Amino acid sequence: METFFSFLERRVDDCSSLVCVGLDPHASDLPSPTAEAARAFCVNVVKQTARYAAAFKPNAAFFEVFGARGWTALRQVIEAVAEESARKGSMIPVILDAKRGDIASTAAAYARSAFEKLGAHAITLNPYLGRDSIEPFIQDQEKGVFLLCKTSNPSGGDLQDLMVTPAGGAQALPLHLHVAQLAQQWNTRKNIGLVVGATHPEALSRVRAAAPDLWFLSPGVGAQGAELETALKAGLRPDGKGMLVNVSRTIARATDPASAAADLRDEILSFKRQSYAG
């Protein structure tokens, strides 16, 4: 039976890319501070880069700031991705960057909002509330989640690097590694991945060792300064997959977003040819 990650892997094969194009319509990038301008900005990026995108990741915050009109614009951007998918005959997954995290009926409502009302295929979640807080999002194995594990921001380590001793554990380990181990255990429906920033290559390597099979969503290449080749060495699985390189501003703000996405795709392909030849 299909899972979110089987859909994703098919798209990765179809477009020969591991590029996840972030859709973050910053107010400074828009001709006017309106939901309609945010929609137009993102739809333009989608149309220009769909050929090279393994996935798109709209950030909910930049739409929610416009209220109800922003929510409509977000849905329209996701619909634009669906239209490009149909045009190309290859489903391009949409990962809603919302970082939700709550329990019981609240989590179920968030899941319905993301998957049924907006039409997203996956969502980012904060796993701090434990297994029951993500369960509503993974009931349908064709929908995926990426759990925040080791984020790309400088102060993420304030909590994520704290040493913890899991129940029954033989030794203490950083909290982000415990999250990775839990994700491996919880992934019974094969639809759980991890957010692991490319800005922390040593942690990226440790998380890969702790979660050898999972897909990573890895922000930080581009505007945040992470080095692409170093991140790929640390995060890719032995099959040359398992990692989405998320880039937002560097592509969206380029004079030619299509060329920027193609160049990144080609850099990744060049690294894989050199590292996985034979």
Tokens of 10: 């098919």
Q: What's the full length of the chain, in residues?
A: 278
Round to whole Å and give the CA distance between 18 and 8: 10
Catalytic residue check, 150: no
CA distances from 247 to 130, 147, 156, 198, 227 (A): 29, 18, 19, 11, 12
Q: Decide: 248 and 222 in contact? Cβ < 8 Å.
A: yes
Q: Catalytic: which of 99, 190, 241, 272?
A: 99
Other CB atoms within 10 A of residue 69 CB: 14
Q: Decide: 207 and 180 in contact? Cβ < 8 Å.
A: yes
Q: Report DSSP state, residue 88.
A: H
Kindly give, in sequence order, each residue whose CB lies less than 8 Å from that of residue 96, ignoring residues fewer than 6 positions away. 57, 58, 60, 114, 118, 120, 122, 123, 124
Residue 222 phi/psi, 5-degree rounding, is 105, -120
DSSP labels, 216-229 = EEEE-BSTT-B-HH
Active-site positions read 99
